[in-house]
Amino acid sequence: MISKWSAPLVRAGRSVRGSSAPVTYSLITLCCVLFLAGPAAGLNPVYGTGDDLLAAQRACFRRWGVIPAELFEGSAVSALTPATALFVHGSWVHLLGNMLFLYVFGAMTEERMGRVQFTLFYVGCGYLALLGYAVANADSEQSLVGASGAISAVLGAFLYLFPRARVTSLLPFLFFLPVRFPAWVVLPFWAALQWLAAGRASDGPGVAYLAHLIGFGLGFGYASVRYGRPTSPTRVKAAPAPASEGENKP
């Protein structure tokens, strides 16, 4: 029985090691495994159902997520939450939206940066994006979870490194028909949507758009300082619509 269930995991591990972007695929795998094992997925019977499940979800988000009002109290545990929150997601839509963005844009960015540098870049920018949001909302007691501060940094770096890469997008106002645009059109449009949404955002549950903007700016700025001229144009096989679920405030 053990070998029956372990075989797919072994094959997945081999494919990650043999790929050109093992960090990207490992991050996707880790986020998916943690989500499926945790209470947010609603699949693990350990957490029960109904009110018990909701209580377990709230407890998980408060333990591993960023709570701005508690972040600057000097606790070492709270100081780590901008890193742990990168691997926690609040819903299926939240997880799948973020992982799709990471899958599309992460591999090429990792290949350009290298494995070690990409890992440090991803975690560091993600941490700073959540920290920046917490500074701007220091009185908020909403827990903040999700990887899209880090993924937004990947988008910013991708825009600088591959501005003319052709990206397939599904636009709602075109009835979700697939259209191809260069990255310098799609990604600034995505950033503009985040900016507009951030201006309308309230303190209640929803999406922390400010974390997206901070991450995007950090990624673009880092790539522009660290690297020279952008890479020659290429094609991105697939891409989501120019908006993501983002950092979730359960």
Could you list the active site residues? 148, 212
Contacts of 14 (CB under 8 A, 6+ apart): none
- Residues 187 and 108: their CA atoms lie apart, in Å, by 15
- Residues 6 and 1: their CA atoms lie apart, in Å, by 9
- Residues 157 and 70: their CA atoms lie apart, in Å, by 31
Alpha helix positions (H), the chain? 2-18, 22-37, 50-64, 68-71, 76-84, 92-113, 115-136, 148-161, 183-200, 209-226
What are the C-alpha distances in Å from 164 to residues 34, 155, 160, 184?
35, 13, 9, 6
Give the DSSP H or E segment for 195: helix 183-200
Burial of 99 (0-12, 13-18, 19+ CB in 10 A): buried
